[in-house]
Structure 1
Amino acid sequence: MDEARLLLQARNGDQHAFAELVGAHRTHVWAVCLNICSNPHDAEDALQNTLVAAWQNLHKFRGESKFSTWLHRVAANNALMVVRRRKANTTITDFTDPDQPIQLVDDTHQSAFDDQIALRDAVRDALAQLPEDFREAVVLREFGDLTYADIAAHQGVGVQTVKSRLNRARTQLAELLRDTAAATGQ
């Protein structure tokens, strides 16, 4: 079914249409929440808040942008609220999750598996060290697949500012990842 029809049905209260409409974007929305929050538990909260807010505010979607752009904006806003609430409640940010089960793999693949986990953790840690507006721009571009114009509209800045933020964020990320690699001897 096409997006316009699903949107109309969802606006008329059809929860199945809404689920299908949102389901088409679930991977990118999850990536936005996870990469802004830097922790799966907070990302789950942000994702749930996003779905509730999208359902309750579907009537506010005017169609001036793509539905996916609007949904990513809702996700980014909810993820940022979770991060701000967490920062207000704690002075230490823990990016590890000792309760997360680790999938066991055979020994021949363990090294590659460990390298993947280390890289993922290093990227999340580096993202968390970026200024909020830089992190949001990178996440929306790289994980949310938003255009420069969509990010500019979301952040309330010009396209050139978005390009500058992305350039500076990528430079900072490269430096942070280089420092991490040097510190770990990789």
Structure 2
Amino acid sequence: MCDDLAARASTLFPSIGGTGAGALDADAPLVRQSRDGDRDAFAALVSRHQRSVFNLAFRLLGNYDDASDAAQETFLIAWRRLDSFREEARFSTWLYRIAYNVCLKRLELRRRDGSAGEADLAGEPAPTESAGTQAERRVLVAEGIATLPLKYRAVVVLFYLREHTYEEIAEILDLPVGTVKTHLFRARQLLKEALR
């Protein structure tokens, strides 16, 4: 059943560039040019990764405006801290770590303010199509993901929707690989229960 869930999630939420093996080679020259102050090179990096960063933020925050603001903040931080990027990791992994931290900060502020409502957590509107359609299943899976605790939601989004490896997720979330695997296992169990 877990494999079925994984297959369903990967077909319902296809990955959008910037995370494949070739991304490292393609980003490296732009990163070097950006470090030398080339704003056009950084604009190319933003263009290449903005959709993926926004999608991650949206899946974690569940609100379009918050996700848009978080994505913008992520790229501002990346520009300011570009010198701290170590080229032994992919640029997208480093960028996702920044985005994840920005989202954590926003969720903490939201929690303190008491402004995290049910609508924010759902992330997408309720299904309006007839039962059994792919669109309805997609919404149900998205709603199921939105209800997961953040530590599980982040792992699911990064593994199934962004197609990162366990090791990359561990680096992004600053967790041991074993913990990433455990979170993913528990998230699958929770999703399976939610989708029954």
Which TM class, normalised by the smaller chain length?
Answer: 0.7 to 0.9
Change (3 A) 1:117 1:90: farther
Structure 1: segments with no counterpart, 5+ residues: 101-109, 179-186
2:35 paired residue number: 11
Change (3 A) 1:119 1:90: farther
1:167 paired residue number: 185
Aligned to 1:65, what secondary structure does the other structure show?
coil
Query: Does the aligned pair in 2 maintain the 1:148–1:163 contact within 8 Å?
Result: yes
Which whole-Å CA distance do the structure 2 matches of 1:167 and 1:51 have between them? 31
Higher relative contact order (CA 8 A, sep 6+): 2
TM-score between both structures, scaled by the size of structure 1? 0.77
Which whole-Å CA distance do the structure 2 matches of 1:96 and 1:76 have between them? 17
Residue 32 (str. 1) matches residue 56 (str. 2): yes
Change (3 A) 1:84 1:127: farther
Change (3 A) 1:128 1:84: farther
2:12 paired residue number: none
Which whole-Å CA distance do the structure 1 matches of 2:94 and 2:115 have between them? 32
Which whole-Å CA distance do the structure 1 matches of 2:136 and 2:119 have between them? 12
1:183 paired residue number: none
TM-score between both structures, scaled by the size of structure 2? 0.74
Which whole-Å CA distance do the structure 1 matches of 2:86 and 2:151 have between them? 25
Residue 145 (str. 1) matches residue 154 (str. 2): no
CA RMSD of aligned residues (A): 2.7
CA-CA distance at 1:14 after TM superposition: 1.4
Count of equivalent residues? 167
User: Where in structure 2 are the equivalents of 1:21-100 lying within 5 Å?
Assistant: 21-90=45-114, 92-95=116-119
CA-CA distance at 1:91 after TM superposition: 5.0
CA-CA distance at 1:92 after TM superposition: 4.6
Moved over 3 A (4+): 115-125
Larger Rg: 1
